Amino acid sequence: MKTLITKQFRFEAAHSLPHHDGKCKKLHGHSYLLEVTISGDIQTFGSKEGMVMDFGDLSRMIEEHIISKWDHQYLNDVVPFVTTAENLAGECFRILTNVGLSVEKIKLWETSKVYVEVVRG
């Protein structure tokens, strides 16, 4: 049986899309909502019995590897790629997979009406 857990995180950041032909070409900001879904076996013993992962441990990892680096930043100065929601979500997926999380899905909300999903597979 595959078990998934999801936690949400918020961060504020600015960016611009220099080659875009619309208003996103100009400097602007977003209140991003990041949803991280991981999978794993439910642990059967120890202090994490009954859990895939302690939500506090997941929070610490996301804070260390993403939020602390992107929150209140101008993303164009932080990452080496075009700062579209698609690219940012893909980078979250790569970063978290590389630090050992079994990431199933990243959902990154750029506004309350627009989001991107990157899924395993």
Q: Say how many domains are in the chain.
A: 1
- Residue range 90-99: average pLDDT? 98
Assign 113 a pLDDT band (cuts: 50, 70, 90): very high
Give the pLDDT of residue 102: 98
Sign, Cα dihedral of 40, 42, 44, 46: positive
Q: Characterise 57 by phi-psi region: left (phi > 0), alpha (psi -120 to 50), beta (else).
A: alpha
**Average pLDDT of the chain to the nearest whole number:** 97
Give 1's pLDDT tier (boundaries 50, 70, 90).
confident
Q: Which residues are catalytic?
A: 24, 72, 110
Task: Reply yes or no on whether the pLDDT at 25 is more than 90.
Answer: yes
Q: What is d(CA 26, CA 11) in angstroms, rounded to the nearest whole number? A: 20
Q: What is the mean pLDDT of residues 20-26?
A: 96
**CATH number of the domain bearing residue 54:** 3.30.479.10
The residue segments making up the domain with residue 59 are: 3-119
DSSP string for 52-120: SS-HHHHHHHHIIIIIHHHTTEEGGGTSSS---HHHHHHHHHHHHHHTT--EEEEEEESSSS-EEEEE-
pLDDT of residue 119: 98
